[in-house]
Structure 1
Amino acid sequence: MLAELTIKNFAIIESLTISFEKGLTVLTGETGAGKSIIIDAIHLLAGGRGSSEFVRYGEKRAELEGLFLLDDEKHTVYEKCEQFGIDIGDGMVVLRRDISETGKSICRVNGKLVTIAILREVGQTLVDIHGQHDNQELMNEENHLALLDQYGGNKISSAKAVYMELYEKYDQLKRKINKFSQNEQEMAHRLDLIQFQLDEIEAAKLEPNEDEKLQIEKNEISNYEKMYDALKNSYNALHGEGKGLDWIGLAMGQMEEISSINDTLKEISESVSNSYYQLEDLSYQLRNELDSLEFDPERLNFVESRLNEISHLKRKYGHSVEDILIYASKIEEEIETIVNKDSHLNKLMNELDSIEKDLLVEANNLTNVRTKCAETLTKEILRELKELYMDKTVFKVHFSPDSEDGSIKFHADGADVIEFYLSTNPGEPLKSLSKTASGGELSRIMLAMKSIFSEHQGITSIIFDEVDTGVSGRVAQSIAEKIYRVSVGSQVLCITHLPQVAAMADTHLYISKSTNDGRTKTSVKPLGEEEKIREIGRMIAGVEVTELSREHAKELIALAHSAKN
């Protein structure tokens, strides 16, 4: 839920902090007081399009900040924030947006700088705003398939998962086939290029880890003189008359004479003997190394030349000899594929044909599951519309296969194109939802559908901006009850001019404006019971609140309590 909203220097609002509660919150007030401005602020906070016009006159920037509290640990916003590297602690999400006088925006989610696009993606999981001329989610036929899938829940998602597994293989095969079907001239150019590259690599006759071995050899040849001197001096220090081994041999003989006296002397004698024989072995190794050492300037030139050749290939084909050999293997396979294109293409076409048959079965199964869910959805929507006194309305989920040149066109969501159709008057044909209803009818249809879909979307806060326009009487009462029913599962904020809706509120906020020092200022006040009666009385009677309108307001509130129970 939206727990707190802070607005600074936004339109006619100088500074405003509003705390919101769960359930149904209504915002009422005189026309122009700033009710819709508050909704505009939430819309921008959730990633809506902004401009410099929203910045209060004479100020440098507008500041918007909203705190959302999450009760559900599986809420989709967790996955969305994890995708963008945003941490959510203690079930709280803070959205912030600053709009400068030039129109530029700085956006943050839980303190992390994000783009407007990311702010929008996160915001859409938290807030759903519907206006009296709503043309977004419910009215956009492109969203109808997703709405039906959300409504179907596990039934549709299970069938869709099986379909998706096959579709990914199908899509990969189509990409390969399209690659084969590309322009012959482009394919010939590609073949020439990779054949040249393969020839160049093969001509080098590379061996695994050759560059590392050559680098070691180069290092040894380059340090020949240093190695020769060190080996010679080390050997001479150990071997020869009066050298190291002679003295250690003398020590060994002396210790052997006294080793039988006690255990300690015996251990020392053995250690000295071991050291002597080890050093003697090492002196032989030093002599062998010295004898095998030779300086070959021609070999050094060859090694350096070879390393330069390998370095040249690395710059073109990989960071190591192993990478170059892997690349060579890859293009060798590609050459074989291009040269034998027809046979490979036939093989891929046969694979595609086989998968396409299986995919069609799964697509039909997905369509069948969706059709059954659509039938249930239709019954629910018709029941909701009947409660809103639109019992003559006909609603249908219209299915049409996505086809191309007479054949079914598969896509990531199946093979269905779905659109909600409606007829509000007997005898009139079914038409697309976006082209059928208007005014009060549109408000009721949208509310009926929203009352169903809100249970399946997991939206934290739903905002209705004057969706009750164009209705009155018993229809207004039904709309009020319907809005309240939506608020039981989700927090609902509602701007209304209907006293029936205001009477249903769990929290009633009154929006007013005043003029101080020649500037307009908007303020928000939570209403107590008596103030709520007076405000609903004003909504009933107009400017002057009479005793009769007060009594009527009390009656509406009593009816609202009864309806809630």
Structure 2
Amino acid sequence: MLQQLSVKNFAIISSLELEFQKGMTVLTGETGAGKSIIIDAVGLLTGGRGSSDFIRQGASKCTLEGLFALPEHPELAVLLDEQGIDQEENVLILQRDIFTSGKNICRVNGRIITIAMLRKIGEFLVDIHGQNEHQELMNSERHLGMLDDFGDNELHKIKLTYTTAYQEYRQLEKKVRNLQNNEKAFAQRIDMLQFQSNEIAEAKLQLGEEEALIDERNKLANFQKIADALAGSYEAINSEESSSLDNIAYAMNELATIEMLDPDYQSISETVQNGYYQLQEASADLARHLGQLELDENRLDEVENRLELIRQLKRKYGESVAAVLSYYEEITEELAENGLLDGKADELEQILVEKQQQVEKIGNQLSAIRKKAAATLEKSILDELKGLYMERTLFEVRFLEQPEVVLTEDGLDKVEFYITTNPGEPLKPLVKVASGGELSRVMLALKTIFSKTQGITSIVFDEVDTGVSGRVAQAIADKIYQISSESQVLCITHLPQVAAVADYQYFISKEIIADRTETRVIMLSGEERTKEIARMLAGSEITPLTMEHAKELLNMAQKEKR
């Protein structure tokens, strides 16, 4: 349920804040005052298509914000959880900013989401119906979806089963057709992947191998330089003629005789001692490395060849050994998958035929359940139309015959609504025979039925009562009020009968402030509401008689509601 709406710099609205209650609320006022602008704001707030044209002249952006009571709907709860949207306080605060640059920023409970996600969430909150909704009835392609919306859990469950099976069938069909149409290209790719896989596998690459080989190559390439440096260093330290260690040992012993005489002498003596022992260690390391030093002239060629192989593989398959190995895993997986398909086109075609038969079987089950739902929908619509003074109407959900079975995403059926409002006349497609006023009533009948099953918390009617008057207008008023017992209803109307049955009434007007047009909204009650009903009855001139008529209309509405 929509509890609060805040609008800033939207069309001719500079700033507006409204509160809404349960039940039925009507918005009335002169044509062009901005009633539909408020409904447009609700539509955009719940994910409708918007543009910078909605921004008030001179502003850099418009801001729409709405506070909704959180509906108890499992699918919505899952959707909000997936988006990380907090649900602890059982409210949803939707906000949408539209900038002159065309950028949109959408938030739900402070979390930024996409417009597409806002639209998904909005579908659980508000259902907006305007005069253009009649066009939905006039599009026979939508009739099957309306029937499915009316269906019970059994229908929804079997339709989900069908949809899953149909998608699997289409995926398999695509794979088979690709295999049939591209057998040569498929075979060439498999050969290429097999060659690449073998080439990488035979190389037996190891992570870190290239770095180790480069280090080894550097040592092998500089063997003589390393040998000379090691030998020269060892000779300098351990020369028989002038051993550096012997000389340092002599100095160390001499300093040891005087180190107790002065702290400085002791420091120098310790430094020389440390140097002596470090040189002893270095001498031992030099001797060990010299003993291990051995030139393998063939090993350098082996290392160079191995590095060249790695370089070639990197040039073909990746920038590093790790990238080459990653690519190897990818093509191995693809080969494993395609290995199941290779040479099995006939087998797959047979599986496809079996899958098609399975989909047809589920589709026939769906059709049978749909026909039961259609019979119930027909009866429900006729019952609702009786209350709208269309008691002689005949209505039928007709399943159209098709020359052959055609699998579609929605099943095997093609459905169209047929109607006749004149006794003795044959039923004809609704899209060809219904007038504007009749369409309004058929749509209202559908919405009365659906409001009990869809669980939408707020329903908006934007002048759906256009083209009717008299007792039909009163019947429509009663029907809209009936819907408000199941869902909150916001309704724009020019009919006094509809306005009179509402629980709350807002009056929308325009005024000029500082040479700018502003939309003004006030809640009507008491005498003010009576005057507005009288204006809707009589037009510009309100007489005592029209005031009495307005009071009578309001009193009758209250009695009827009680």
Normalising by the residue count of structure 1, what TM-score does the alignment of the two structures yield? 0.77
Instruction: Give percent identity, aligned residues only.
Output: 42
Mapped to 2, the partners of 1:375 and 1:68 lie a distance apart of: 39
Mapped to 1, the partners of 2:45 and 2:455 lie a distance apart of: 19
Mapped to 1, the partners of 2:32 and 2:341 lie a distance apart of: 71
The answer to whether the 8 A contact 2:474-2:497 is kept is yes
Q: State the Cα deviation string for residues 3-51 of structure 1 (Å, max 9, x = none).
A: 2222233333232221211210011123332222222333333444445
Q: Which residue of 2 aligns with 1:73?
A: 72
Mapped to 2, the partners of 1:357 and 1:211 lie a distance apart of: 50
Q: Which residue of 2 aligns with 1:98?
A: 98
Mapped to 2, the partners of 1:325 and 1:67 lie a distance apart of: 51
- Give the AA of the match of 1:312: R
Counting only pairs closer than 5 Å after superposition, residues 203-352 of structure 1 correspond to structure 2 as 203=199, 205-206=201-202, 210-212=205-207, 214-215=209-210, 218=213, 221=216, 296-315=299-318, 319-321=323-325, 323-324=327-328, 327-328=331-332, 330-331=334-335, 334=338, 337=341, 340=343, 344-352=344-352
The answer to whether the 8 A contact 1:2-1:66 is kept is no
The structure-2 alpha-carbon separation of the partners of 1:332 and 1:34, relative to structure 1 and needing over 3 Å to count, comes to closer
Q: Which residue of 1 aligns with 2:170?
A: 171
SS at match of 2:409: coil
- Give the AA of the match of 2:107: V
Mapped to 1, the partners of 2:11 and 2:168 lie a distance apart of: 53
Mapped to 1, the partners of 2:60 and 2:393 lie a distance apart of: 48
Q: Which residue of 2 aligns with 1:181?
A: 180
Mapped to 1, the partners of 2:373 and 2:117 lie a distance apart of: 32
Q: Which residue of 1 aligns with 2:259?
A: none
Q: Which residue of 2 aligns with 1:553?
A: 550
Q: Which residue of 1 aligns with 2:14?
A: 14
Displacement of 1:143: 3.2
Displacement of 1:525: 0.8
Of 529, 534, 541 in structure 2, the residue corresponding to residue 532 of structure 1 is 529
Mapped to 1, the partners of 2:329 and 2:62 lie a distance apart of: 58
The answer to whether the 8 A contact 1:381-1:448 is kept is yes
SS at match of 2:323: coil
- Give the AA of the match of 1:314: Y
Q: Which residue of 1 aligns with 2:31?
A: 31
Displacement of 1:363: 1.0
Counting only pairs closer than 5 Å after superposition, residues 37-116 of structure 1 correspond to structure 2 as 37-51=37-51, 53-57=53-57, 59-61=58-60, 63-74=62-73, 76-81=75-80, 90=89, 91-100=91-100, 104-110=102-108, 111=110, 116=115
The answer to whether the 8 A contact 1:198-1:332 is kept is no
SS at match of 1:68: strand
Q: Which residue of 2 aligns with 1:382?
A: 382
- Tell whether 2:506 aligns with 1:518: no
SS at match of 1:211: coil
Mapped to 2, the partners of 1:443 and 1:433 lie a distance apart of: 12
Q: Which residue of 2 aligns with 1:455?
A: 452
Mapped to 2, the partners of 1:491 and 1:472 lie a distance apart of: 24
The structure-2 alpha-carbon separation of the partners of 1:294 and 1:396, relative to structure 1 and needing over 3 Å to count, comes to farther
Q: Which residue of 1 aligns with 2:235?
A: none
SS at match of 2:550: helix
Q: Which residue of 2 aligns with 1:435?
A: 432
Mapped to 2, the partners of 1:532 and 1:315 lie a distance apart of: 77
The answer to whether the 8 A contact 2:5-2:17 is kept is yes
Q: State the Cα deviation string for residues 365-393 of structure 1 (Å, max 9, x = none).
A: 11101110111111001100011001122
Q: Which residue of 1 aligns with 2:145?
A: 146
Displacement of 1:527: 1.4
Q: Which residue of 1 aligns with 2:412?
A: 415
- Give the AA of the match of 1:371: K
Mapped to 1, the partners of 2:13 and 2:66 lie a distance apart of: 19
SS at match of 1:373: helix
The structure-2 alpha-carbon separation of the partners of 1:302 and 1:164, relative to structure 1 and needing over 3 Å to count, comes to same
Normalising by the residue count of structure 2, what TM-score does the alignment of the two structures yield? 0.78
- Tell whether 2:423 aligns with 1:426: yes
Q: Which residue of 1 aligns with 2:157?
A: 158
Gaps spanning 5+ residues in structure 1: where? 230-282
Mapped to 1, the partners of 2:381 and 2:393 lie a distance apart of: 10
- Give the AA of the match of 2:547: R
Mapped to 2, the partners of 1:162 and 1:118 lie a distance apart of: 25
The structure-2 alpha-carbon separation of the partners of 1:563 and 1:352, relative to structure 1 and needing over 3 Å to count, comes to same
Of 475, 481, 497 in structure 2, the residue corresponding to residue 484 of structure 1 is 481
- Give the AA of the match of 2:97: R
The structure-2 alpha-carbon separation of the partners of 1:326 and 1:515, relative to structure 1 and needing over 3 Å to count, comes to closer
The structure-2 alpha-carbon separation of the partners of 1:508 and 1:397, relative to structure 1 and needing over 3 Å to count, comes to same
The structure-2 alpha-carbon separation of the partners of 1:359 and 1:117, relative to structure 1 and needing over 3 Å to count, comes to closer
Mapped to 2, the partners of 1:529 and 1:189 lie a distance apart of: 80
Aligned pairs, how many? 499
Displacement of 1:206: 2.2
The answer to whether the 8 A contact 1:480-1:504 is kept is yes
Q: Which residue of 2 aligns with 1:271?
A: none
Q: Which residue of 2 aligns with 1:192?
A: 188
Query: CA RMSD for the aligned pairs?
Result: 3.7
